[in-house]
Structure 1
Amino acid sequence: MQKKTTCLSVVASLILATNLYSQTEQLSTIEISSSYLKSNEKTATFSTEIYTNDEIKKSKAKDIYDFLNSQTSINIAPSYGNSFTQKIDLRGYGIGDGYQNVVVSVNGRRINNIDMQPQLLSAIPLSNIKKIEIIKGSGSVQYGDGANAGVINIITNGKNDNYIMAHMGNDDTKGGTLSLGFNNENLIINALLDYSSTNGTREDSSNTKDSNHNRNRKVELIYFPTENLELRAGRTLSDMRLKYAGSLTKDEYKSNPNQSNGFTEQYFNSYLTTLGATYNLNKNYSFDVNYNREDKLSEFVGSSKSQYEYESFNASFNIKKDDYSIVLGTDTFDGDRISSSNITNKTNKSLFVSADYQVSKDLKFSAGMRREKVEYEYNPTSGNSLGTAEYLNAYDIGVNYSLSDSSSIFANYNRSYQTPDIDRFFSSSWTNIGGTWVQTVSSFNGFIEPAKVKNYTIGYSNIQKDNKLKISLFRSELTNEIYYYNVGGANKNTNIDKSHKYGLEIFDKYLINKNLYASINYSYIIAKIDNENEENGAYDGKDLPGVSKHNLTLNLGYTYKKLNTILSYTYRSSAYAANDFENNFEQKQEAYKSTDLNVSYDFKNIEVFAKVQNLFDEDNGLWIKDDSIYPVNFERTYYAGIKYKF
């Protein structure tokens, strides 16, 4: 570790020595696009973390998972080796099931699944993203079910840039993007083609490797028939095929993380249709309506196959005055999973209202509530059908006070909930397919309770032309946190009776001079189990497994004329293995460490770029239990490419 720290210090010293210029670039307060209520980083009554298109482009991340893991406070890890649907952890819900406690939305459309599959972010090309907004400890009024830790809002481009891009790297990695955008005063037409593939990094005894490919195609039309009316329509097709390797014992992992005892092969495709309209009655009143339908197929080659049919609809009436805003909305979702043995359905229907009031120049209040009905139906091809329904409420109250033109403080109280996914109602058996343990439904488990959370957050923001500082303290008190119990041959989905989480979050970006900036994103998180009767108190007072106490990302960026370079460092401290609820496994989750370096150069309409990930060749892995380790970003990788704008 000392050697690596020294390397970072040397690079920093060399760059700092070039501090010969006065400040020209300036930081600014960013508007929050995804909220129905008008707000920005400084006036928001909740904790925010926002990344612009420029920051996303400069990172040269290979995909959205890479960007979130290396640039934000979010912890990302491949799901049992599956790099296309990775696990997400925000605010200490654990790398095991944390993804079910955060809502991910794309232009307002939530992409959370009705079963235990993580959100599919690989269908969103990074080059098509305009902004990423992370709302922490809030969002349950607008997004409802699952927004316990918060919401990750992804906003794509209004009009695409025109460019073609290609890259190549080690392990026969290659990819390309064609982006087209046309507009006049009444019409925007976008088209995007995106492809990536790799020969893989892990290999079995027969020289088979974990190869994969990912293809995304999108066409979008935005039409303005009148000054006050906007109509939207889009069609997206994504298909992926991948082989991902199984777990290794600790001895195997330490001797050669590139090896594999077998592979799981999966095929996945998605057809998405989006329709929407916004009508402005005048400058103060507007309607917004959106409809989405997604048809998906997930097939484990040689094993199981499931089809998914998702339909969602939301509508809102928005009132925006000089000193207050009000939104009245409805939000519905209807999802089916269809397999050879059953059809399972989950339906969400909700109404919500949210408002903010600017009491004075410096003081703003916000409040909102949501009422949601969640219904389940299980219809097997043989046997009795099952069903149940839940009625749940979400609340949010916040206040923001401006201390000066550049600084403010806020406080927020949020009530949220997470209903079980359709897999949680069944106990499960596990089958080893090609070296990977695959979960299969075996018997009805019972309609377990939804999780309910009380979130408390206070924070401070100071945004100046050369420095952006955000600090927040949070505490979350949970009832019936959902988890999978698997001890001594007994296995079922159930609830942790009482648990809590608290922590400190710090973000700071400082423009040292016109060429150089530094940023830090740090979170300290404690997640505790207070009371769990399943093991007669054996879990009481234990740490929730899979939660790192210390999470850190550092960035040092340098620009000289057309040259841009960023040195990044990501660190997650050690934790208990994902299944270690009693905190007594022999093996713990080791600390995650990765140093990345990217360089790009612009010349007229051409940009050339290169990136090295895990510069110091660190060994990284995801520990599920003793001798069940999935290597993650465990070797040095690199790629280079060219982008032509026209």
Structure 2
Amino acid sequence: MGAAFYLDIMKKTLVFIACTLVCTFSRAEQTSLGESFEVAKASHRDLPSVVVESNRTIDSKDDAPPSVTLITSDDIAQSGYTSVAEIVQKLGFVNTRPGLTGKRDATFDLRGFGGSDAYTNVAIIVDGIRYSEKELATARISNIPVHSIESIEIARGGASVAYGDGASGGVIRISTIRPKGDVPFSGNATLSVGSFGTQDATVGLRGSADGFGFAVDATEASTDGYRESSGEDFGSAAATLSWTGQHIYTGIRLGAESSDARLPGALSPLEFKQNPRQAVPSINNRGDFSLFKRDFVTAFFRTHGLDRDYGFDVSQRDQRLSFKLGNPTGQRQVLQDQFSGFVRDSFEYADTVHQWTVGLNSERAELDAQSQFSFGNFAARGTQSSYAVFITDDVTVSESLRVNAGYRVERFYQYRYDMGPFVPTESSTRRDFNLEALELGFAKSLTDELTGFGKYNKGYRVPNVDENDPAARPPTGSFLNPQRSKELEAGMRRRSGQQEQVVRLFKIWLDDEIANVSFTNINLDRTQRTGIELEHSAPLGGHLALRAAYTYIDSEFRSGNLTGSRVPLVPKHRALVSLTQNLNDQAQAELLLQGQSDQRLGGDVGGVQEQGKVPGYAVADINLRYQLDRVKLVFSINNIFDRDYFSQGFFNEFAVFSGRDPIGIYPDPGRNMRVTAQFEF
């Protein structure tokens, strides 16, 4: 793949933008659809969609599809939580593991993909831009201040039609508050101090007048960390400039962030038992660090008030990483470009209302990396480009039945350059291929309170430029196979007043699941997930409210020498219970209990016999909130009973060559406290 392909993508992008602008103004004066159509559209809104759409945010919880958990800005403000990871975990009931490089970001696991790098199977979308990395790294969303978030949509289950590669487990979509119209100047500030020397300060300013709007956010944070040599210094800043016209909303957003983190490494089981707060007692691991920097710029365009909707998002991210991880040291740079555009319209046919969307997506990621080991040096270069077209049709058949269908085709181009001690001669390898995604679903209103739903989807995940890196030892001159998935889901949702209950049953079949085993990226034998998700929320009378959720996932191999064995890092049982008490008009108290069963160690796929387990655990948190005019005070204690536990551990058969135990444990924090003051002005 050469420059000609990329130029072709850019030409098509420019044509799409030009057509969007022409159609916007040519249709600005056209009349709306007839009265009967408006009645049909009203029914369309009354019954929720089956799937989340890539270009339309959910306005309220009544509109949320049954497989989606919607967290609003009011939910976030009321909770007092201070990070995106905490909000997603505690309000969205998402299996969340602490980041291994840096403390502010986390790995989110939807529907049991822990054994195959869960973050590569969950698409993270922020204001229409994909934040999921095209490398083996978690999506860095810690630069998003919680006061700037308008909503978070957590969609469980495959969503490759709308989002393409890497959405086999689901999607987490974050929408920030963008200034529109005439909004008075306002601001927010948050100051936090906590255990382990944690300090955090965030400030945000926003406003608009005469159609022009702006928003500025900045964060500065530092911590010494729970463990020795686990501190981090973090800083970020971002600004948005926008303009709102009669039928147009457009703008640009740019920002930068940096993270300087110390890395304590993985402990052996004995070391964890002796002192879970210690760093790895190895000379090779002294001074391990991760230094990350990223700059980004995005532009967006939307129409409104027309019979047909148009929009596009364009983004570029340039990120650099330097690191030391025991023996290896290295530097990496990844440059990522994105474009997504859509056209959406509605029409009436044979007493049904169709809402169709046609979208275009293109992405390009370039990796340039150098790694230095005691046994030799690696130089890696890789490129991955893709160009996709998708179409969806959301049909209101009647006031009680809504169905949807979608199809996507995506063309991928991959290139890698091999040089290192395990490569006989320097060589380059390339390939191109097509992948398809499909979805079908329905929502049926059974009574005024009860809705049944079901869906089928077929999706995929492509090995990224990092996984095809020769330093990770894929065979010379070849690539890993794309991962392919099929999923069936069915369920019921009941709503009555302030009460809501949801039951979802699902089964996922995976071929060529991609995983990292002892520093080697491989395709696993065929696997499957069978599960049930239960959610309940209701007032308990007086000033007490209950939220509860439970997930059961049976994740196992269905072929090869591991047939019947469970997939690593997937707990079979997970549960959450939250009790919130309104003490008075200004004060609230919340008790949160979380627990899960044991897991197979990550990377343990050498045989049926398990090499060890990540033990099950249960922890309790408490959160006290007090509202005083424009100031909110929050006092939180996590892991109240100071339990020593870990949510992730790995088996590495090569560890014995460096004198280490093959089981490596990453402890979760013990009891920790935080005091937060949130100001509005």
**TM-score normalised over the length of structure 1:** 0.87
SS in 1 for 2:263: strand
1:287 aligns to what?
A: 310
Task: Give the superposition deviation at 1:287.
Answer: 0.9
2:191 aligns to what?
A: 166
Task: Give the superposition deviation at 1:38.
Answer: 8.0
Q: Which moved more, 1:386-395 or 1:152-161?
A: 152-161
SS in 1 for 2:527: strand
1:449 aligns to what?
A: 481
Residues 604 and 425 (structure 1), Cα distance of their counterparts in 2 relative to 1, 3 Å cut: closer
- 2:621 is aligned, of 596, 616, 621, to 596
Residues 635 and 117 (structure 1), Cα distance of their counterparts in 2 relative to 1, 3 Å cut: same
Cα distance in structure 2, aligned partners of 1:74 and 1:474: 16
Please give the per-residue CA displacement for 1:293-352, whole angstroms capped at 9, x wherever unaligned.
Answer: 111111115921111111100110110357221101100001111235343111111000
Task: Give the superposition deviation at 1:443.
Answer: 6.2
Q: Which runs of 5+ in 1 are unaligned?
A: 1-27, 204-208, 429-439
- 1:414 is aligned, of 430, 438, 457, to 457
2:342 aligns to what?
A: 316
1:339 aligns to what?
A: 369
- 1:614 is aligned, of 635, 639, 643, to 639
Residues 371 and 272 (structure 1), Cα distance of their counterparts in 2 relative to 1, 3 Å cut: same
Task: Give the superposition deviation at 1:197.
Answer: 1.0
Asked if residue 235 in structure 1 is aligned to residue 254 in structure 2, the reply is yes
Does structure 2 conserve the Cα–Cα contact (< 8 Å) formed by 1:272 and 1:292? yes
Matches within 5 A, 1:8-87: 35-36=54-55, 47-80=67-100, 82-87=102-107
1:17 aligns to what?
A: none
Does structure 2 conserve the Cα–Cα contact (< 8 Å) formed by 1:411 and 1:458? yes
Cα distance in structure 2, aligned partners of 1:275 and 1:53: 23
- 2:510 is aligned, of 478, 494, 502, to 478
Asked if residue 329 in structure 1 is aligned to residue 359 in structure 2, the reply is yes
- 1:257 is aligned, of 276, 279, 283, to 276
Residues 67 and 319 (structure 1), Cα distance of their counterparts in 2 relative to 1, 3 Å cut: same
Does structure 2 conserve the Cα–Cα contact (< 8 Å) formed by 1:45 and 1:410? no
Cα distance in structure 2, aligned partners of 1:564 and 1:157: 26
- 2:467 is aligned, of 407, 411, 424, to 424
Cα distance in structure 2, aligned partners of 1:244 and 1:445: 34
Task: Give the superposition deviation at 1:198.
Answer: 0.6
Q: Which moved more, 1:349-358 or 1:335-344?
A: 335-344
Cα distance in structure 2, aligned partners of 1:244 and 1:29: 49
1:371 aligns to what?
A: 409
SS in 2 for 1:68: helix
1:460 aligns to what?
A: 492
Residues 421 and 372 (structure 1), Cα distance of their counterparts in 2 relative to 1, 3 Å cut: same
SS in 2 for 1:202: coil
2:448 aligns to what?
A: 405
Cα distance in structure 2, aligned partners of 1:125 and 1:193: 8
Cα distance in structure 2, aligned partners of 1:485 and 1:269: 28
SS in 2 for 1:257: coil
Equivalent position amino acid for 2:514 in 1: I
Cα distance in structure 1, aligned partners of 2:217 and 2:479: 43
Asked if residue 504 in structure 1 is aligned to residue 539 in structure 2, the reply is no
Equivalent position amino acid for 1:131 in 2: S
Asked if residue 570 in structure 1 is aligned to residue 594 in structure 2, the reply is yes
Asked if residue 268 in structure 1 is aligned to residue 292 in structure 2, the reply is yes
Does structure 2 conserve the Cα–Cα contact (< 8 Å) formed by 1:517 and 1:556? yes
Q: Which moved more, 1:95-104 or 1:393-402?
A: 95-104
Cα distance in structure 2, aligned partners of 1:246 and 1:589: 17
RMSD of the alignment, in Å? 2.4
Asked if residue 361 in structure 1 is aligned to residue 375 in structure 2, the reply is no
Please give the per-residue CA displacement for 1:10-53, whole angstroms capped at 9, x wherever unaligned.
Answer: xxxxxxxxxxxxxxxxxx99999854468776666661122112
Residues 81 and 192 (structure 1), Cα distance of their counterparts in 2 relative to 1, 3 Å cut: closer
Cα distance in structure 2, aligned partners of 1:612 and 1:142: 39
Cα distance in structure 2, aligned partners of 1:60 and 1:445: 52
Does structure 2 conserve the Cα–Cα contact (< 8 Å) formed by 1:332 and 1:348? yes
Cα distance in structure 1, aligned partners of 2:336 and 2:463: 17
- 2:214 is aligned, of 189, 194, 202, to 189
Cα distance in structure 1, aligned partners of 2:140 and 2:254: 17
Equivalent position amino acid for 1:554 in 2: V
Cα distance in structure 1, aligned partners of 2:323 and 2:475: 21
2:657 aligns to what?
A: none
Does structure 2 conserve the Cα–Cα contact (< 8 Å) formed by 1:166 and 1:643? yes
Task: Give the superposition deviation at 1:358.
Answer: 0.5
Task: Give the superposition deviation at 1:241.
Answer: 0.7
Residues 508 and 321 (structure 1), Cα distance of their counterparts in 2 relative to 1, 3 Å cut: farther
Q: Which runs of 5+ in 2 are unaligned?
A: 1-45, 180-184, 281-285, 371-378, 420-424, 652-660
Residues 174 and 85 (structure 1), Cα distance of their counterparts in 2 relative to 1, 3 Å cut: closer
Cα distance in structure 2, aligned partners of 1:36 and 1:211: 38
Identical positions, percent? 21
Does structure 2 conserve the Cα–Cα contact (< 8 Å) formed by 1:555 and 1:568? yes
Does structure 2 conserve the Cα–Cα contact (< 8 Å) formed by 1:137 and 1:149? yes
Equivalent position amino acid for 2:241 in 1: L
2:572 aligns to what?
A: 549
Asked if residue 580 in structure 1 is aligned to residue 618 in structure 2, the reply is no
SS in 2 for 1:616: coil
Cα distance in structure 2, aligned partners of 1:126 and 1:29: 30
Does structure 2 conserve the Cα–Cα contact (< 8 Å) formed by 1:253 and 1:629? no
Task: Give the superposition deviation at 1:368.
Answer: 0.5
Does structure 2 conserve the Cα–Cα contact (< 8 Å) formed by 1:78 and 1:632? no
Cα distance in structure 1, aligned partners of 2:462 and 2:64: 28
Please give the per-residue CA displacement for 1:490-534, whole angstroms capped at 9, x wherever unaligned.
Answer: x743322322111000111102236221101211001110113xx
Cα distance in structure 2, aligned partners of 1:96 and 1:394: 20
Cα distance in structure 2, aligned partners of 1:120 and 1:547: 23
Residues 86 and 227 (structure 1), Cα distance of their counterparts in 2 relative to 1, 3 Å cut: same
1:156 aligns to what?
A: 176
SS in 1 for 2:142: helix
Task: Give the superposition deviation at 1:463.
Answer: 2.0
Cα distance in structure 1, aligned partners of 2:662 and 2:622: 32
Does structure 2 conserve the Cα–Cα contact (< 8 Å) formed by 1:394 and 1:416? yes
Residues 525 and 321 (structure 1), Cα distance of their counterparts in 2 relative to 1, 3 Å cut: same
1:213 aligns to what?
A: 233
- 1:94 is aligned, of 96, 99, 114, to 114
Does structure 2 conserve the Cα–Cα contact (< 8 Å) formed by 1:350 and 1:373? yes
Q: Which moved more, 1:605-614 or 1:419-428?
A: 419-428
Residues 114 and 595 (structure 1), Cα distance of their counterparts in 2 relative to 1, 3 Å cut: same
Cα distance in structure 1, aligned partners of 2:334 and 2:523: 27
More strand by share: 1
2:332 aligns to what?
A: 306
Task: Give the superposition deviation at 1:126.
Answer: 2.7
Cα distance in structure 2, aligned partners of 1:612 and 1:466: 28
Cα distance in structure 2, aligned partners of 1:263 and 1:521: 41
Asked if residue 277 in structure 1 is aligned to residue 301 in structure 2, the reply is yes
Please give the per-residue CA displacement for 1:585-612, whole angstroms capped at 9, x wherever unaligned.
Answer: 4421011322111111111112211111
Cα distance in structure 1, aligned partners of 2:408 and 2:599: 35
